[in-house]
């Protein structure tokens, strides 16, 4: 599904397709998790330093999408140079227990999954 699609054309009422397609990409959950760890509003460059392997363009796109869906607020301060800060919304904070549960599950199962991947190499 295109990242700018508001609703899935074939399944407009499907929460999995419509919601997870927007923040289930490579970066969105990591941005939400990183903003939560900071526990305060964060400037763009600070966020980029925390997620060192994300490009400036991808961070910009990811923050815009999260803002469009109400997971992140963007505050612009009228200073010279302009200061912009990003923070989690209550909607994003309500998602955090689920993200943390997923992280816990991944930690518990990562070794077994990696071993299964190694076993299956060459079988396909």
Query: Considering the domain boundaries, does residue 7 fall inside one?
Result: no
d(CA 41, CA 84): 9
54 phi, psi to nearest 5 deg? -95, 135
Query: Considering the domain boundaries, does residue 1 fall inside one?
Result: no
pLDDT at 120: 83
Query: Considering the domain boundaries, does residue 9 fall inside one?
Result: no
pLDDT at 9: 63
106 phi, psi to nearest 5 deg? -60, -40
pLDDT at 1: 42
Q: Are 106 and 93 in contact (CB under 8 A)?
A: no
Query: Considering the domain boundaries, does residue 3 fall inside one?
Result: no
Query: Considering the domain boundaries, does residue 10 fall inside one?
Result: no
Could you state, in chain order, the average pLDDT of each consecutive group of 10 residues for the chain (124 residues)? 56 75 85 93 95 95 94 94 94 93 94 91 69
Residue 20 belongs to domain with CATH number: 1.10.10.10
pLDDT at 124: 58
pLDDT at 111: 95
pLDDT at 20: 78
Query: Considering the domain boundaries, does residue 45 fall inside one?
Result: yes
Domain count for the chain, please give it: 1
pLDDT at 92: 94
Query: Considering the domain boundaries, does residue 4 fall inside one?
Result: no
Q: Are 21 and 1 in contact (CB under 8 A)?
A: yes
Residue pLDDT, tens place only, 50-66 = 999 999 999 999 999 99
Query: Considering the domain boundaries, does residue 2 fall inside one?
Result: no
pLDDT at 17: 75
- Full domain range(s) for residue 112: 15-120
């Amino acid at each position: 599904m295109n990242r700018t699609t508001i609703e899935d054309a074939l399944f407009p009422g499907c929460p999995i397709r419509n919601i997870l397609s927007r923040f289930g990409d490579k970066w969105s959950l990591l941005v939400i998790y990183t903003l939560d760890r900071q526990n305060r509003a964060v400037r763009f460059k600070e966020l980029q330093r925390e997620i060192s392997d994300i490009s400036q363009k991808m961070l910009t796109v990811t923050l815009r999408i999260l803002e469009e869906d109400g997971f992140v607020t963007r505050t612009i301060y009228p200073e010279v140079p302009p200061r912009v800060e990003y923070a989690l919304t209550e909607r994003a904070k309500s998602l955090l227990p689920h993200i943390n549960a997923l992280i816990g599950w991944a930690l518990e199962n990562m070794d077994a999954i990696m071993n299964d991947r190694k076993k299956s190499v060459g079988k396909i």
